[in-house]
Structure 1
Amino acid sequence: MEEALFGSSPPRSFNVPPALVDLENYASGFSGNLKIERLTFIANHCPRLRFDALLLALEYVKEHTMNCALYSSIHGMMSRTSSENRALRGNDPDVAGIRERVVPPFDTEWFERTKAAAAANLEKLERELLLYRSNNFKTNIQNCLEAIAQHHLSVGDTSNALKCFLKLKDQNATKEELVQLSLNLIKVNVYATNWMCVHEEALDAKQTITLAEEGVSDDMKGHLQKLQAAIGLACFVQGKYEQAADTFLKIEYDFFDYPEVMSSGCLTSYAVLSALASYNREQLKTGLLSNSSFKPFLQCEPQLSEAVQNCCKAEYASALQILHGIKERFLIDIYLSARTNELFEMIETRGFVLYVYPYSRLDMRQMADDFNISLEELQTKIINLIKSRKIQGRIDDVQKILCFPEYSEEAEINRLYKLIDELHYTVRAALMREIVRRSGLGVKVSYIQIYFVTYI
């Protein structure tokens, strides 16, 4: 269990100062198993936040779950962390600033009581399920299966929880029950990182709501926002940033409440970084800044809002500076951490491409000043962009000028005429082939010819 939580190999560590992260406030935006996963992720990757993150996780496990194995694992990790901190204090800069913390005693009474209660509860539910099945009480069977699934989630058995929820799909249910079941399946698949299943299940449930009668209730609107968030997250973790941005930006602030998977702050971070990495300036203005339903999310995150505004004004250096200033927030996020550098690089690259777009000749010294980087570093980046064909240009290394080929309207028209002729030829050939096939004018091979070709 501990290996699953903290990894079998040494993880990458981030030196995140505790003063920059209000860990308790961050954790309050989540609930369920994913809250524990997020806290243990922080403990695994941020030495200076490890003890506090483990303490919050331990308290949550004890108060809201029956997962005795996880309680024991986290408590053991806390004890080892405390011992390591005492040994390294004064030598390792990552732990030198951490004050001595007292590990709470292992609650043996809670452990034994909860372990016995979990076993008794599962046995009771399984007996009830057998009784209901023998009497064919369909509604009771559904309720009992869901109770068993929730029990498995409480003790950390994601695999059996998923099996129980899947059994419920075979039962006839109302529209509301189907949507709620889909949300449960999405939640479990998020825990298990089955992103294709998350995406497909969310799309199916969204279609169920869309095909419903008009006048959808507020509860259904809330479910719809959760489904949008699940689709966006599935796209985001698979690197489909433009699709993720398109999906996230359709979410309405007034109906969004999804602590089992993500907080509103996390959603804003995912949406803004995805948009900055994949949208042009016009899309940022219309799709993000002028988006009335998403504007409240941005208002709650003024730094991200300022970064978007700077990108819209082509002030890329200022935008990147703001993002680097809050990078620690991204590094402690379980889904964003591994993608932060990639997204920052994509945002910087998009900034370069959009910056040079209006020019035929560009002084690279001025561009280096605007992006607040050295001329040598800028030149290296521009060369890489030219090699990858993201910029069509060449560098005058003596004058430090970036030159672009002049646009020729006549050459472009000739290219389009040639392309049209090729398309006409392809379409005519395809149509002729289909006409010949339908008319039965094809040359048929006789059995003698087949025999001759086969045995020659």
Structure 2
Amino acid sequence: MASITEQSPFFQQRRARGEVVVTDPPKFDLDSYIGNYTGITRIDRLHHIGSHSPYLAADAYRLAIAEAKHGKNVDLYTTLVDEFSNIAPQDPAALTDVAWAEKKTRETQQEQDRLEHELKSYKNNLIKESIRMGNEDLGHFHYDTGDYGSAHKAYMKMREHCTSTKHLADMTLRLVNTSVTQKSWLAVQTNLAKVEASQLKGDDKAKLEPIVSACNGLAHMAINNFREAATYFLKTSPTYLTVEPAAGITWQKDVISPNDVATYGGLCALASMDRSELQDKVLGNSEFRNFLELEPHIRRAINLFCNSKYSACLEVLEGYRNDYLLDVHLSKVLGPIYSRIRTKSIVQYFIPFSCVTLDEMASKFPATGYRIEDELEEMINNGTLDARIDLVDRLLISPPTNPRHDVHSDALAMAEKYDHTLRLRLTRLNMLAAGMEIKADKGQGEKVVSGGMGQTIGEGLRGIGQRMGLS
């Protein structure tokens, strides 16, 4: 069945456009995996899996279409059915339910008219709370129908009618959720900063902290800021696993699951941190350990890297490549993440050696589609790897170093820095002794120079020169 699906017009067109098609079956069970998500995130992930994996395409599209029919987004439903009809035209789910689509379109139009009429009446009555709730209801409606731009505008209009800090925080969280759905990561970061700057206190603030950390990590990862992403994921509190809904959103199901926090955080840390940091900030992090228990293979890969078993670490990660390519967020940044982890592994592996054969490097770090020599050459040219390649003897050679010269250079640099610091301190003491201390005028807040016995600035400078033996 998978081979027939793979030859369908839909996947042939994807290949022709140069898009990724995952032909091998993944390690996860679709029902168990998708059970971690609800709402539009569930449909979005099913759509991504179905459009990238011929093996899971039929099951993923059936689930996505059934889920779409429980909502109000008619355009999304018709898009899913059209795509599925190019994959399995004989499947009953690939036939558009025209009656349902027409009925749902009428119902949504009537609901929109009603909500807009209610909001207009609220504005006429000038009741701030009613206007705020009217805009909120309209925002929810637009979000459910897939009009995220209008939803964002409706939520923004709530701001001037919010009467408490909690109302402002809830509105901003709604904007965060809408921006994540649109994959507008700059807007996500901007609104998360506003949530952090809100004046919430106590339990309300504590409840939002893990949500803000997880979403910040997701936004930074999506724009290739892996170091910042790892930092946010690693400081996500384990209370995120059981955090109560905020702004009506169940974040660990509607946006990013705890399993995602473990996977994204572990991979971003591997891509951006050295061995000591991985040991202290990841494996030694008692709070993040709660997330790593959900994805044991990530913890195993980090352990292998920390124990200098780089090829085994890369082998573990390579075994899950297909799974990660089917992740709606991770698939877009998987290439740079894996490339950085591989580069770090090669550099760390070579550090203890003066020379290694190219055949040994190729066996430790197998590559498909290119030669290990080309990869090492690129790393040397961009300054990542300090080595030379001997193509005659097929060796990777560490350039000779002179430890005595390095020690002497460091000692001289330290002495110069100490001498410079000492001279600055002597200058400061002589300026104080000459009465040239600059003080703030308490009356006007302006800076004035206290002359001390009527001494001019020029005389003070000459005094400094005499004390330092400069004149």
Q: Give me the TM-score of the superposition, normalised by structure 2.
A: 0.77
Alignment of 1:225-240 (within 5 A): 225-240=210-225
Alignment of 1:41-440 (within 5 A): 41-63=48-70, 65-83=71-89, 101-103=91-93, 105-208=95-198, 211-213=199-201, 215-217=202-204, 220-256=205-241, 257-357=251-351, 359=352, 361-364=354-357, 368=361, 371-373=364-366, 377-396=371-390, 398=393, 400=395, 402-404=397-399, 405-407=401-403, 408-415=406-413
Q: Could you say what secondary structure the match of 1:363 adopts?
A: strand
Aligned mates of 2:238, 2:363 — CA distance in 1 = 35
The residue aligned with 1:31 is: 38
- Deviation string for 1:43-83 (max 9, x for gaps)? 222233222222111111111x2111221221222222213
Contact 2:84 2:94 in 1 (8 A): no
Aligned mates of 1:25, 1:260 — CA distance in 2 = 16
- Aligned residue type for 1:233: L
Deviation at 1:129, TM superposition (A): 0.7
RMSD of Structure 2 on Structure 1 (CA): 3.2
Give the greater-gyration-radius structure (CA): 2
Contact 2:240 2:258 in 1 (8 A): no
Q: Which deviates more from structure 2 when the two are superposed, residues 337-346 or residues 26-35? A: 26-35
Aligned mates of 1:267, 1:355 — CA distance in 2 = 29
- Aligned residue type for 1:253: P
- Aligned residue type for 1:26: Y
Aligned mates of 1:367, 1:423 — CA distance in 2 = 50
Contact 1:253 1:297 in 2 (8 A): yes
Q: Could you say what secondary structure the match of 1:81 adopts?
A: coil
Aligned mates of 1:14, 1:207 — CA distance in 2 = 43
Deviation at 1:31, TM superposition (A): 2.3
Contact 2:22 2:54 in 1 (8 A): yes
Q: Which deviates more from structure 2 when the two are superposed, residues 101-110 or residues 111-120? A: 101-110
> How many residues end up aligned between the 2 structures?
406
Q: Could you say what secondary structure the match of 1:82 adopts?
A: coil
Contact 2:238 2:291 in 1 (8 A): yes
The residue aligned with 1:10 is: 17
Aligned mates of 1:67, 1:348 — CA distance in 2 = 42
Q: Could you say what secondary structure the match of 2:20 adopts?
A: coil
Contact 1:11 1:44 in 2 (8 A): no
- Deviation string for 1:151-201 (max 9, x for gaps)? 001111111000001111222332222222111101111122221111111
Contact 2:131 2:161 in 1 (8 A): no
Contact 2:213 2:233 in 1 (8 A): yes
Mark the CA change 1:176 to 1:426 in structure 2 (over 3 Å): closer, same or farther.
same
Aligned mates of 1:146, 1:389 — CA distance in 2 = 53
Identity of aligned residues (%): 23
What 5-or-longer segments of structure 1 have no aligned partner? 84-99, 428-434, 442-456
Deviation at 1:109, TM superposition (A): 3.5
Q: Could you say what secondary structure the match of 1:349 adopts?
A: helix
Q: Could you say what secondary structure the match of 1:25 adopts?
A: helix
Contact 2:129 2:161 in 1 (8 A): no
Mark the CA change 1:10 to 1:387 in structure 2 (over 3 Å): closer, same or farther.
closer
What 5-or-longer segments of structure 2 have no aligned partner? 1-9, 242-250, 426-437, 439-447, 450-456, 458-471
Aligned mates of 2:302, 2:407 — CA distance in 1 = 34
